Amino acid sequence: MAGLARRILLGAAATLALAGGGGAQADEWGAYGRDPGGTRFSPLDQITPANVARLKPAWTFHTGDIADGSDGPRSGFETTPLMVDGRLYLTTPFSRVVALDPATGRRLWAFDPKIDRRLPYGDGLINRGVAAWTDPKGGRALCALSIFEATLDARLVALDGATGRPCPKFGTDGQVSLTDVKRYRPGYYHMTSPPVVVDDVVVVGSAIDDNGDAEMPDGVVRGFDARTGELLWSWEPIERPEGVAPEAWKTGAANAWTILSADPARHLVFVPTGSASPDYYGGLRPGDDRWSNSVVALDVRTGKLAWGFQLVHHDLWDYDTAAAPLATTLTLDGRETPVVIAGNKTGMVYALDPASGAPVLPIEERPVPPSDTPGETASPTQPFPVTLPGLAPQTFTPDQAFGLNDEDRRACAAALAELSGTSIFTPPSLTGALAVPGNVGGINWSGFAWDARRQRLIVSVSNLPVKVRLIPKEKFEGGDRGDLRAETTMQHGTPYAMSRQPLRGPVAGAPCVPPPWGELVALDLAKGEIAWRTPLGSLEDIAPGIGEVAKGSLALGGPIVTAGGLVFSGGTLDRRFRAFSAETGEELWNAELPASAHATPMTYEVGGRQYVVIAAGGSAKITEEVQSDALIAYALDPAAP
């Protein structure tokens, strides 16, 4: 390793110690976010702003797993591989686990759990990766290194890292069923993100389809013995408040569908939770609905709640805590301060004490608009950071309407003027309200990375406000389906259907909000300032010509940072993989991909050469996108000047 990387690694020792280190050597990538705390910071510095233009494909691996949606759900390729013990481990859209030679991309082994690809998985056919665990007791020839996957059809699988064979002492033939939950439904209850392993305990959440019913499957989080697969504990994110009758309490979900992180030194796992069901009507789940829309810390040894912080009370907007909590240290007033950084679809960022959950940077409850929907009682306040700016717009008024032509601008302004509200916490209404920045806006599962050299948070942010309208059941049954382009469904068990759609111009179809529609943002937490922000990608591939007048793309796939001074990011709807200056945000390099890269990249070093790897497969949801099955590794071209 180069000298600078050694110095950076030593300088980041406190960060890695907080996150537990956990076997992530300087040349490896041992967890989804590299370290247990999910910093996504690599100390490698071979690739720099001065030479990044020399990056070329070193190898490409094709999984062969693509589904176009003609016979079941469509596939997307969202994996972030691990580099552990000299092998790359990844998952395919069909939940197959594959091990590769990291220098050549040659397949070493593959395991196929044979999921039923026709089940109605609400997220499509996707899987974001695996977890790795080295048995600290040793003494096992088989599964001394175990690879854990939570499959799309709700199984926890343990494989031997060297051979890909199922671990025979784990569950039944290396598998444990995860379907033993209240109101389980095949397909509607599934797994898309990797487990996390702390203190020899494998912790797993779940993905649950939105909005179909008030009473969706249970969002339980569970811990299993890493050697045997024995269930050690279960934790329920929400429960009926005292004084609320059972017949008046109908809800579910509040599940942890995105990436988990951990603090092994404190024996904690950090769990980000989503909304209680259904997303847009809370009349049957009165109160704050704790601990939905939260970051909670569980004692991994017992599953007991150590602390919790709720980012949204009584969610009515699908503002999930979609980003993985990030554990690091922050220099405040000259002192190294441990923090857990949380963010959600509102685009707001919170800094919390990892030991207690108390705010490290001030947060205040501010009044927000009430609901005028019969049967609904919105929370009177919501938590806002005091010193940290919101990273996405929180209001949008008719005079701000954007359009690619005069007709679209006028139509967008008129549509906004008809809504009952156009601010971040305006409750859904019978006439329609605007959710800003929207259910796929703000900080989604793309999340953020920590620039350890500059003490900055690097964040993928999207801005795509949506119109949300509640439709009374009798009108819905009479044929009212909302606007022409709306996604509409009955919220069974409630008095209302929901209708939501991105607010777009009727002629050109571009969003009504001004660009950029996606950005990469560097946030200096200590100063409470945005150090830089730059448009991220474009919509050119799916809307030819729009890139000439509008910048930025919805981003689903996050950034990483290296000690070489670079930020790498895919995630956009265009078929590009990009490198930016970590200092200024300037785009320094991009490469054309066979499909969009809706995944988080990773980097490692082997044989004295640094590689950067990205999965490029297109989206499971956006049918206009090209699909692929390519995992591509980039490295410096030694022949380039």
pLDDT of the residue at 18: 31
User: Helix %, strand %, coil % for the chain, to 5?
Assistant: 5, 35, 60
Q: What is the pTM of this model?
A: 0.94
pLDDT at 24 > cutoff 70: no
539: phi then psi, degrees, rounded to nearest 5: -100, 15
The CATH architecture assigned to 3-636 reads 8 Propeller (2.140)
pLDDT at 7 > cutoff 60: no
Q: CA-CA distance, 40 to 598, in Å (whole number)?
A: 16
pLDDT tens digit string along 567-584? Answer: 999 999 999 999 999 999
pLDDT of the residue at 76: 97
pLDDT at 517 > cutoff 60: yes
Strand blocks (E) in 425-575: 433-435, 448-451, 456-462, 466-472, 487-490, 496-502, 518-524, 529-535, 559-562, 566-569
Percent of the chain topping pLDDT 90: 88
pLDDT at 165 > cutoff 80: yes
- Which of the residues are catalytic? 318
pLDDT of the residue at 22: 35
The Cβ of residue 291 has, within 10 Å, a number of other Cβ atoms equal to 23
| CA proximity to 438, closest of 456, 426, 450, 451 | 426
Cα 393–568–585 angle (5° rounding)?
A: 55
Return mean pLDDT, the chain: 93
pLDDT of the residue at 549: 79
In which region does residue 552 sit, left (phi positive, over 0), alpha (psi from -120 to 50) or beta (all else)? left
- 404: DSSP letter: S
The Cβ of residue 636 has, within 10 Å, a number of other Cβ atoms equal to 20
Strands 630-636 and 261-263: unpaired
pLDDT tens digit string along 272-310? Answer: 999 999 999 999 999 999 999 999 999 999 999 999 999
Q: Which distant-in-sequence residues (6+ apart) come within 8 Å of 608 by Cβ?
A: none
Q: What are the residue ranges spanned by the domains of the chain?
A: 3-636
Q: CA-CA distance, 173 to 636, in Å (whole number)?
A: 43
Q: Contact 434/467 with Cβ under 8 angstroms? A: yes
Q: Contact 433/421 with Cβ under 8 angstroms? A: yes
